[in-house]
Structure 1
Amino acid sequence: MNALERVLAWPTKLADRYRLALWTAAEIADATGGTASGPFQVAGVETDSREVRPGDLFVALKGESSDGHEFLDKAFANGAAAALVERPIDGPHVLVEDTTRALEALGAFARERAGGTVIGVTGSVGKTGVKEAIFTALDRASHGAAHRSVKSYNNHVGVPLSLARMPGASAYGVFEMGMNHAGEIAALTEQVRPHVAVITTIAPAHIENLGSEEAIADAKAEIFGGLVPGGTAVIPIDSVHFARLRDAAVKAGAKVLSFGKAREADVRLLDAVPSANGGSLVTAALGDRRLCYTVAEPGEHWISNSLAVMGAVYAAGGDLGAAGLALAEMGGLKGRGARHRIAVPGGHALLIDESYNANPASMRATLAQLGHTPATRRIAVLGSMKELGDFAPAFHAQLAEPLAEAQVDFAILVGPEMVALARELGKGGHNPLGKPFRFAHCEGPGEAIAALEEFGLAGGDAVLVKGSNSVGLARVVAHFAAREG
C-alpha cells in the first residue's frame, strides 16, 4: 500500500471513526427524554453563559437565586450551538421538563457509552491536585484520550456536567467528588460509578456539618458504594481512620490498595529527600517493584499525594512511568500552590497562592512548607477556615504553634474567625526569641492588601496566602501577582 492508499484507508482504528461532535440533537433528546427542535451537533456542554464557547450546548439550569433561561441570549451571543431548556425558544434546543435532571441524565448516558476506566477522587485535602496528577499521567500514556473534571467541579452540578463532557472514545475518566454533608458523595458516586476510588486523607474539613472526624471518614467512604464490581479502593494507611475506611471498602466489595509509610502499605514510601527544585525525590515500593520519581510540588503532603497517584494509576492499569513524569512536571494550581515571582524593592519575592481552600490540616501542611522555603523573611496572610462550627475558635488558636515553627516574621490574619488566633498570638510566648509576635488582624482582603503594602515587601521575602475561598484572598494574590516578572 502506497502513501496515498494509506491516507484513503484512514481511519484504521475503531476509535478513529468517532465523529468530532460530542453530542447530536438526537442523542441529547434520547438521553434526557426531551424533544429536539431539529438536527444539530454540539462540541461541549456548559452551564455558565459567561463560559460558553462556540459550539457548546448551554444548559439553562434553574437555581435558588437565578434562572439560566434569563441568560440564553448571552449564551447564544457567545457562540452556543444549542440549549437545553424547559420552555420553547427560537434557537436550536432540546426541550425537557427539568434541566437539572436532564443534565444528570446526559451525564449518566455519557458514563454508559464510555468504554474507558473511570477513577473517582475524594478526600479532605489534596483531591484536586491528586485528580490533576492522575489525569496528567493517564492522558500522557493514552496520547490524549483521558478526560477529567476541570477546576473543582465536584458537586451536584459539577459532577454530571463533567460526565456530560466526556467523549465516548475516552480511555480514562478522572472525576473529583466533594461534599459538605453526609449522603452527598453517595449520590455523586452513583453517577460516576468508578472502577477506582481514591481517598487522599481525612481531616476536620466541614466538621461543622458532620460533627466528628469519624463522621467525615464515613461520608468520604460513601465513594466506595458506587464502585463497579471488582473495583479498587485506594486509601491512606497512615490515617487514624484507615481501619474504618478499609472496612467500608471491603463491605462494598472493593479490593483495597493502601498507600503510606507503614510497612504494610501496598504502595509504601521507602525514602524521600529534597530535590534541587524545592520538591522531593521519592523512592517507593509497589509489590516487588521499586518506583523512583521526582515530585515537583513542595511539601510532605505532596509526598503522600504522590503515593495515592501511583496507587490509582496502577489500579487503573496505567503507565507508572508516565505517572512519575506527570508528578515531576506538575506546577502548582491556581489557588492551590501556584508560585509567583514578583518584583519588589531589592529584587524579587516569592508569592505562594493557596487562596482557594483551607482547613486545619492543610493550614499546618502549608505553613510547614513555608518554614522550609529559603527566604530572608517569611510572611503569612491567613484567612478564616470556614465550616468548623463550634470547633472554629480552638482550631484557629492552634495555628499559633505552626506559625512559630515556620519562623514567620509577620502574619496578616483575615476574617472574624481569626480573632481566636489573634488573641493567642497576643499572649506572647510564641516567638522563639521571646519577642512579641508581629501580626495584624484585618476584616477582609482589602485591608489585608493595605497591611501588606504598609509592611513592605523586599527582595528575598516569601509570602504565603491561604484561606477558605469565601474569604476572598484571591484578591490579595491578584493584586501582588500583577507585579510578576
Structure 2
Amino acid sequence: MTLWTAADAAAATDGQTTGAWQVSGISIDTRSLQPGDLFVALSAARDGHDFVADAFAKGAAAAMVSRIPEGVAKDAPLLLVPDVLEGLRALGAAGRARSRAKVIGITGSVGKTSTKDMARDMLAEFGKVHAAEASFNNHWGVPITLARLPQDADFAVVEMGMSNAGEIAPLTALARPNVAIVTAIAPAHLESLGSLEAIAQEKASIFAGLEPGGTAIFPAELPTSSILERTARTHASTCLPMGKGDLPLHLHDIRQTETALVLRAKVGQMAVAVRLINSGAHAASNALACLGVAHALGLDLARAAFALGRWQPPAGRGLRQTILLDPIEEASFTLIDDAFNANPASMAAALALLAQTNPADGGRRVAILGDMLELGPDEQAMHAALAEDPSMADIRLVHCVGARMAALHAALPLRQRGRRVPNAEALLDHVHTLVAPGDVVLVKGSKGSHVSRVVDALRGLDTQSSQKKGL
C-alpha cells in the first residue's frame, strides 16, 4: 500500500523530488529497512547520508536528504530538503493532518509504553490501529510515528517521552491528540528537571496540544496531581481524573492471582471488570486509563474490557515465563523480565509483583536489581531506600548490579545480601549459580544498566530452548 507519493511528500516538506516514486514505509536505520521504504538520512552519532547508498541497495524506494550523498546518482529517487529532521517533522505533521484517526497521546514517568500497548490492543477491537513502534517517543520517534500513519487508520496511539524540560510541548503540538494521558509522576529524570513538581509541569504540557473537544486523563491522588489538573482544565473540554476515590475513573478493587491481575472499576456510571494476564498491581492504573480512552471515544466499555484482557506484558516489561532446568526432573524456575527501565516507583511495583508471586516447593523469591539512572544528587539515598520497601520482607535474596546499587547492598540485612557486582557482564558466567528449582527470579533495572543481558543468560538455561536448537 502506498504511504507517500513523491508529489505528496514534496508538498508536505516543501522539498524537491527526483523521479515519480512512491513509498510504503519510513525508515531511519538500514538494519531494519524494508523494501519500499523512504530512508530518512538523519544525523545523530553518524551522518545518515553515509548510508543512503546502502539503503538503496537494500530496496529503499526513495531517500530524504539535504544533499546528494557520495556514491548516489543525481537521478536517484530523492526528496531534497534543507534540513532532514525538520523535513521529517513536516512529514509527520502532514501525516497527522490528512488522517481521520482519533489520536491518543500518552506520557508519564512510568507506564507509557505499557499503556500504549494496552490501548493498541484494546482499540483493535473497534477498528484499524496505528501505534508507535517500541519506544519511539522522542523528537524523531513521534514524527516517524505520524509520518507512518495510514490514511485509513481509525485510531493512532502516540507515546511521548522526555529527558529535559520543554520537550513534550512540541511533540504534543505535532500529534494533536484527541485524548491525552499522563500515566504517573515519579522520580525519573530528576537529574535534569530537579523536582517532582517540575516533572509534573513538563508532563502536563501534553494537554496543551489537545484538539478542540479533547479529553485529559490523569492520576488524581498524587502530591503533584494539582499541577496536572490545573493544566488539564485549561486545555481540555473533558477531564477524567483517575484513582481510588470518588472519581470519574474509579478503581475500587484489585485482586492478584498467580496468573493474572483482576481489577474492578467504575468508568463514568458503568462498572467494569478486567483480567490482565501475568500482570502486577502496577498495571491497574494503566488499564484504567485505557478504559478512560474507550469512555472518551464513546466505545462499548464491555468490549473494551474484554479486549484489554488480550494484552500481556512484553519482554523487558514484566514478562513472566517458566525456564525448564531439567526436563527429566521437571525442575524449573519462574523468570520475571522487567529489565527495560527503572525508577523508585517502578522498582517498588516490580518488587510488589515478586512478593505476590509464590515460589514452588522449596523455592525462593530472588531479585537481581540493576542501577536506576537519571535520579540526580539523591540517587544513593534512593537506592538505599529500597531496603525499606515493604515487599523486601518477602524476598529471600537480592543481587545488586552497578555502582549505585551498591548502596542498596550495604543497606540490606546480611541474610538478604546476594552478589554485588560492578556491571551486568560480571554476572553472566555465574547465572546458573543464582537460581534453583522452584525459584521466582525478578530482573529489574534501567536500560543503561544492561541487566537485560542477565535475562538473556537466564533464558539460556532453558533446556527446552536448547533442545529446540539441537544443542
> Structure 1: 5+ residue runs without aligned partners?
1-19, 429-434
- 1:418 aligns with 405
Q: Deviations over 1:229-256 (max 9, x none)?
A: 1211001122222222111111224421
The reply to whether residue 379 of structure 1 matches residue 366 of structure 2 is: yes
Pair 424,411 (structure 1): closer, same or farther in 2 beyond 3 Å: same
Out of 77, 90, 101, which is 2:86 matched to?
A: 101
In the alignment, is the contact (CA less than 8 A) between 1:377 and 1:461 conserved in 2?
yes
Q: Deviations over 1:201-226 (max 9, x none)?
A: 11011111111111111110010111
> Structure 2: 5+ residue runs without aligned partners?
465-471
Q: Deviations over 1:375-413 (max 9, x none)?
A: 111111111000011010110001112376352222211
Out of 453, 459, 463, which is 1:481 matched to?
A: 459
TM-score (norm 2): 0.93
In the alignment, is the contact (CA less than 8 A) between 1:119 and 1:316 conserved in 2?
no
- 2:180 aligns with 197
Percent of residue pairs bearing the same amino acid type: 42
What is the deviation of 1:297? 4.0
Q: Deviations over 1:332-353 (max 9, x none)?
A: 1121112232122451111111
- 2:47 aligns with 67
In the alignment, is the contact (CA less than 8 A) between 1:233 and 1:256 conserved in 2?
yes
Of 106-115 and 83-92, more deviation after overlay is shown by: 83-92
The reply to whether residue 78 of structure 1 matches residue 58 of structure 2 is: yes
Q: Distance in 1 between matches of 2:41 and 2:393?
A: 48
The reply to whether residue 139 of structure 1 matches residue 124 of structure 2 is: yes
What is the deviation of 1:79? 2.0
Q: What are the within-5 Å matches in structure 2 for residues 149-160 of structure 1?
A: 149-160=132-143
Q: Distance in 2 between matches of 1:253 and 1:479?
A: 47
The reply to whether residue 41 of structure 1 matches residue 22 of structure 2 is: yes
- 2:450 aligns with 472
Counterpart of 2:446, as a letter, is: S
Q: Distance in 2 between matches of 1:413 and 1:478?
A: 17
In the alignment, is the contact (CA less than 8 A) between 2:336 and 2:443 conserved in 1?
yes
- 1:329 aligns with 310
What is the deviation of 1:60? 0.5
In the alignment, is the contact (CA less than 8 A) between 1:57 and 1:81 conserved in 2?
yes
In the alignment, is the contact (CA less than 8 A) between 1:342 and 1:481 conserved in 2?
yes
Q: Deviations over 1:415-450 (max 9, x none)?
A: 11112112212xx3xxxxxx6323211111111223
Q: Deviations over 1:143-170 (max 9, x none)?
A: xx11111100000010001110001111
Counterpart of 2:315, as a letter, is: K
Q: What are the within-5 Å matches in structure 2 for residues 9-408 of structure 1?
A: 20-63=1-44, 65-88=45-68, 89-90=72-73, 91-142=76-127, 145-263=128-246, 265-275=247-257, 278-345=259-326, 347-375=331-359, 376-402=363-389, 405-408=392-395
What is the deviation of 1:325? 2.3
Q: Distance in 2 between matches of 1:320 and 1:295?
A: 16
User: What secondary structure does 2:252 align onto?
Assistant: strand
How many pairs are equivalent?
Answer: 452
User: What secondary structure does 1:436 align onto?
Assistant: helix
User: What secondary structure does 1:105 align onto?
Assistant: helix
Counterpart of 1:160, as a letter, is: P
In the alignment, is the contact (CA less than 8 A) between 2:325 and 2:333 conserved in 1?
yes
Q: Distance in 2 between matches of 1:200 and 1:216?
A: 12
Q: Distance in 1 between matches of 2:405 and 2:7?
A: 54
RMSD after superposition: 1.6
In the alignment, is the contact (CA less than 8 A) between 1:297 and 1:330 conserved in 2?
no
Counterpart of 2:163, as a letter, is: N
Q: Distance in 1 between matches of 2:78 and 2:345?
A: 46
Pair 415,405 (structure 1): closer, same or farther in 2 beyond 3 Å: closer
User: What secondary structure does 2:205 align onto?
Assistant: helix
In the alignment, is the contact (CA less than 8 A) between 1:107 and 1:163 conserved in 2?
yes
In the alignment, is the contact (CA less than 8 A) between 2:256 and 2:280 conserved in 1?
no
In the alignment, is the contact (CA less than 8 A) between 1:350 and 1:462 conserved in 2?
yes
Counterpart of 2:335, as a letter, is: L
Q: Distance in 1 between matches of 2:442 and 2:53?
A: 41
What is the deviation of 1:326? 2.9
